[in-house]
Amino acid sequence: MSLKNVLSEASSPYLRQHANNPVHWQPWGEKAIRLAKELNRPIFLSIGYSTCHWCHVMERESFEDLEVASLLNESFVSIKVDREERPDLDSVYMTACQILNGHGGWPCTLFLTHELEPFFAGTYIPKLSRGPKRPGLMDLLPALHQEWVQNPKEVASVAGEVSQRVQQFHQHSSEKTFVAGLDDDCANAYVDAYDPTYGGFGQAPKFPTPQNLMFLMDYGEQKGVKSSHKMVKKTLKAMRCGGVYDHVGFGFHRYSTDRNWKVPHFEKMLNDQAFLLLAYSKSYAHYGTGLFKQTAYELIQFVHRELRTSDGLIHAAIDADSEGEEGRFYTWTHTEIRHRLSMKTSSVIEEIYHLRPEGNYLEEHTGYPNGTNILYMDEVPNEQAEVLGFKKKKLRALLEEVRQTLYDIRSKRPHPSIDTKRLTDWNAQWIYALSEAGRWLDDEALITSAENAFATLARYALVEEPAATSSNSPTPSTRFIHTLPDVNADTPAGTSEQANPQPSFATDALSMCLAACSLFETTFRAEYLKNALDWFDHTIQVFGDPVHGGLTLATQDQTPTLTHTKEWMDTATPALNSLYGWMAFKCWRLTGITRYRDLFDRALDIAHPMGAEYPNAAPWLMRAYTLESTHPVEIILAGPKDHPVLFQMMEIAREFRAKQPTLLVIHEENIKMIHTLCPFTQSTTLKDEVQAMVCQGHQCALPVGKPSEFYRLCQQIYGAKD
């Protein structure tokens, strides 16, 4: 039986990148798995993504190489997976890689049995060996094939043990009850890991991990811990000043390879931008720091300029490489800067951004400069103005003029490629962040942008299909497809013909819930809350694990894999079940329905074993616990929609927003639906004048009608504002 490379037919840009490789790549699926069994070959599984630098390196070195391709084609069935298109496979097999290899990363390279169990794993593997501890593919492939043929029992034994450990990791359950104070342990773990010199946590490499900062902001605010705020402010400033931020075109690169945020891996991912937008906009509301507000708006400008499509949705990512070299698009030679700018201006820029003739870009593996420069600062311009002999305003104007000049120069270079996938969960997370930023920054334009994108996303992603014949319910089945149609696709978006082949994941539905919930809290349009509650209930029904609790990433009937993924540990962004616990918390706070409180408590219970071993494993979930255990306050404002006093009351509530009370604004257009969705509000009636009620644990005090009285009530609960 002869195989051929069939990736030209794939929907994923990453898979299509490999369509011309001499390797006989197959997409993941029943057909490829069956072929491996029929040919009695192990599976060579390669997981990556289109903007990954080391994925490109491995392709150039090995997958485009006829010698490597010959070994793979003769003895293996080679399967290529896009980690962003199949996050369930990525999560399972990354866990296996970490078990077998001691660490993970992309590309993720594994060898599987016909039962899909890994018996060898690595990340980037070179073509040729680099010593006994770093075997290359030319030595590794024959050795593993020989092991497969000559020692099948040993291979099966190793694979079975790894499989069991992976399943235990993803299917763990807890019979214990969550222990109060685990958020204190989480905060203390960050104190221990904090880098007081450069900000962030731990040593190199450093990921921005905005959920850490979101947790510390809420923890510091609710419990009055000033050191938490100090860690947040220093880290946000250090990231913004460092080379991990693009000072010319804006947006954050994936992570920093060094401790001091100078040298990034240059890919830019939409989900990273979303959670960083949350962190910077929220931090501005907490601290009033102009740099944080500026960064939030720059993030929005970058995403909407570089990644937004004509219908308002967002592409997935921008590549790290261009012209076959990582970071080439983003770096500068000393001569280039001097040639383009005046001597006086270039000398100022060289000082601020640490530009050097030999280059300041130290190669990750050699530690030596490569002749190019990454733009990074030690301090924000305002803090350098006096030293450089400038007034602050004049220096800011000069830097903006230089930035625009460099942007114009850079725009003429060959651009890194864009991963044009449009993912439901990442788009929903961006809408969630945009809505939250609109509230934190008091910007109606951002809220409108979020609403428009949400309407488009719901139209594309939400698919209703006829109920299965075995179902007891005749009602249609609702699901969110994971990969959205291309904006120029011929097939109408959202039709079941186009959606049927697409997998659906819990992150898609849950992220849509988060976006809808935030839009309700921002606009008080009750239909958003109804969407959030309906979709959350549906998510639990479809993805909930009735035995162990929590959500699995994929449904039980999806394409087979080693086990059903259940993520509890936050990584670069919050984990699935951290978001699930947060959503249960939000539903409880907004509605007062105890079923949601029970779901939240159960989420804490299930996360407890991992949190007890790794206290900062799930900071996003710990945020919810901190907020619920300190100031569980609900504020109800009720009155005619356009009454000026209602707006005054809303402004007062905003003054206390750092404490994150649950705010409900009831008026003639939403009262009926809110009474239905939020039963604890049913005693609230509309009158000619505005009323404000402050509730604790959904038990409400008598209403007050004057803004001054409402302000005093808030002060009594939260204390006088600084």
Outline where 102-178 has alpha helix (H): 137-150, 152-170
Token pair for 321: 């490489």
Asked whether residue 504 is assigned to any structural domain, the reply reads: no
Asked whether residue 337 is assigned to any structural domain, the reply reads: yes
339 Cβ contact partners less than 8 Å away, ≥ 6 residues apart = none
- Is the domain of 152 the same as that of 272? no
Asked whether residue 600 is assigned to any structural domain, the reply reads: no
CA distance 378 to 368: 20
- Is the domain of 46 the same as that of 86? yes
Asked whether residue 547 is assigned to any structural domain, the reply reads: no
- How many CA atoms lie within 13 Å of 499's alpha carbon, on the beta-carbon side? 22
Asked whether residue 543 is assigned to any structural domain, the reply reads: no
Token pair for 285: 């509301």
DSSP code of residue 205: S
pLDDT < 50 regions, the chain: 469-476, 490-500
567 Cβ contact partners less than 8 Å away, ≥ 6 residues apart = 91, 170, 553, 575, 576, 577
- Is the domain of 86 the same as that of 216? no
pLDDT (0 to 100) of residue 548: 79
Outline where 316-388 has alpha helix (H): 334-340, 343-353, 381-388
CA distance 605 to 594: 16
- Contact between 183 and 629 under an 8 Å Cβ cutoff? The reply is yes
Task: Quickly tell me which residue has 């593997």 as its tokens.
Answer: 125
279: nearest Cα among 326, 240, 337: 240
- Contact between 353 and 247 under an 8 Å Cβ cutoff? The reply is yes
- Contact between 183 and 625 under an 8 Å Cβ cutoff? The reply is yes
The one-letter code for the residue type at 600 is: F
pLDDT (0 to 100) of residue 383: 81
pLDDT (0 to 100) of residue 173: 60
**Stated length of the chain:** 722
664 phi, psi to nearest 5 deg? -125, 125
- Is the domain of 235 the same as that of 370? yes
What is the number of domains present in the chain? 3
The one-letter code for the residue type at 358 is: E
- Is the domain of 209 the same as that of 272? yes
- Is the domain of 252 the same as that of 355? yes
Asked whether residue 214 is assigned to any structural domain, the reply reads: yes
pLDDT (0 to 100) of residue 609: 77
| Domain closes at, from 107, 137, 170 | 170
- Is the domain of 262 the same as that of 411? yes
Helix H or strand E segment including 41: none
Q: Could you tell me whether strands 662-666 and 691-696 are parallel, antiparallel, or unpaired per DSSP bridges? A: unpaired
- Is the domain of 199 the same as that of 160? no
Domain residue limits at 216: 182-419
Asked whether residue 138 is assigned to any structural domain, the reply reads: yes
689: nearest Cα among 646, 657, 632: 646
- Is the domain of 203 the same as that of 240? yes
The sign of the torsion formed by the CA atoms of 386, 390, 393, 399 equals negative
- Is the domain of 399 the same as that of 280? yes
Residue 48, beta-bridge partner list? 82
Q: How far is CA 19 from CA 7, 15, 85, in A?
A: 5, 7, 17
CATH number at residue 86: 3.40.30.10
- Is the domain of 15 the same as that of 75? yes
Asked whether residue 124 is assigned to any structural domain, the reply reads: yes
571 phi, psi to nearest 5 deg? -120, -120
- Is the domain of 139 the same as that of 252? no
The sign of the torsion formed by the CA atoms of 383, 387, 393, 394 equals negative
pLDDT (0 to 100) of residue 37: 95
314 Cβ contact partners less than 8 Å away, ≥ 6 residues apart = 270, 303, 307, 308, 422, 426, 427, 430
| Domain closes at, from 419, 451, 486 | 419
pLDDT (0 to 100) of residue 1: 61
| Domain closes at, from 135, 170, 205 | 170
| pTM of the entire predicted model | 0.93
In three-state form (DSSP H/G/I as H, E/B as E, the rest C), the secondary structure along 627-696 is HHHHCCEEEEEECCCCCHHHHHHHHHHHHCHHHCCEEEEECCCCHHHHHHHCHHHCCCCCCCCCEEEEEE
For the stretch 482-521, pLDDT in tens is 999 877 654 444 433 333 357 889 999 999 999 999 999 9
Q: Is 671 exposed, middle or buried (0-12, 13-18, 19+ CB in 10 A)?
A: middle
Over its C-alpha atoms, the chain yields an Rg (Å, rounded) of 27
- Contact between 315 and 418 under an 8 Å Cβ cutoff? The reply is yes
Token pair for 564: 């059903």
pLDDT (0 to 100) of residue 188: 96
Question: 668-671 long-range contacts, Cβ below 8 Å, gap at least 24?
Answer: 668/640, 668/641, 669/641, 670/524, 670/525, 670/526, 671/638
Neighbours of 302 (CB within 10 A): 18
Q: How far is CA 558 from CA 27, 156, 206, 505, in A?
A: 15, 25, 35, 10
CA distance 261 to 459: 40
- Contact between 23 and 69 under an 8 Å Cβ cutoff? The reply is yes
